[in-house]
Structure 1
Amino acid sequence: MAYDVELADRIRDVLETTDDLDVPSEVVEKQMFGGLGFLVGGHMAVAAGSRGDLMMRVDPDRAGALLAERHVEPMVMGGRPAEGWLRVAAEGCLEVDDLRRWVDVGLERVRQLPPKPGKG
């Protein structure tokens, strides 16, 4: 199943207006996990899923608090929750401020990680 093109466009808009991020040189788009991932430093920060849902990378120490929020659930891969990943249902991403908040959570996490070799 293909990713949600409208959500991917909305994520691009958010990334392009993120003050401390140079989109052309720092962000790479890559199809993965059935969605379109947005990578920074070689690490996927967020991805547009196929049902308008957003996958995001999170600090595992923050996952519990984030899971308590509406529309947030564990990201399940291969039948098991993926540590450090959460899914936000489409309803939790409808407003631009909500989408920006979740994209910022993903960006915050990947900025804590060392860049992958050859990825800046």
Structure 2
Amino acid sequence: MPDPQREVARRRGHEIFDPIVEPLLAEPDVDVGRMFGSEGVRIRGKVFAFLGFDGTLMAKLPSARIDALVAAGIAQRMVMKGRPLREWIEVGIDRGSAWPEIVRDAYAFLDEITP
């Protein structure tokens, strides 16, 4: 994706993502931190959702939830260095209406498993 297109997509991603994240920042132990060169939202230092460079939502979820989202055509598994990550998904801007529930699920998942 050329840089001007990437920047437009990234801005659009933030238009969707930022209002979802804002109320979560009022929760205990939730803040903003870096993940793969992007800012993400984290709980107790562990990132549970962030935007990719192209405005795509990346979220950490249990494998069963990921399987359901992939099967429904809402998300795809995040791939790093040619290898799909077990607990990370990518959700495009075109599926922005699904982002609030996915981010809340990612928050709940990390809250549960992070000491």
- Place the TM-score, normalised by the shorter chain, in its bin: 0.7 to 0.9
One-letter code aligned to 1:108 = A
Aligned residues: 109
Q: Is the 8 A contact 2:46 2:114 kept in 1?
A: no
Q: Is the 8 A contact 1:52 1:90 kept in 2?
A: yes
**1:103 lines up with 2:103 in the alignment:** yes
One-letter code aligned to 2:13 = L
- In structure 1, runs of 5+ residues without a counterpart are 116-120
**1:53 lines up with 2:56 in the alignment:** yes
> Partner residue of 1:15?
21
Separation (CA, whole Å) in 1 of partners of 2:73 and 2:38: 22
Q: Is the 8 A contact 2:17 2:99 kept in 1?
A: yes
**1:89 lines up with 2:92 in the alignment:** yes
Which structure is higher in helix share? 2
Runs of 4+ residues deviating >2 angstroms? 1-12, 15-18, 25-28
One-letter code aligned to 1:37 = G
Structure 1 length as normaliser, TM-score?
Answer: 0.74
- In structure 2, runs of 5+ residues without a counterpart are none
- Measured against aligned partners, the alpha-carbon deviations of 1:52-108 in whole angstroms (never above 9, x if no partner) come to 210000012322112112231010011100111111011111x3xx22112112112
Structure 2 length as normaliser, TM-score?
Answer: 0.77
TM-align CA RMSD:
2.4
- The CA deviation at 1:15 is 2.5
Separation (CA, whole Å) in 2 of partners of 1:44 and 1:31: 8
Q: Is the 8 A contact 2:12 2:93 kept in 1?
A: no
SS at match of 1:75: strand
- The CA deviation at 1:111 is 1.4
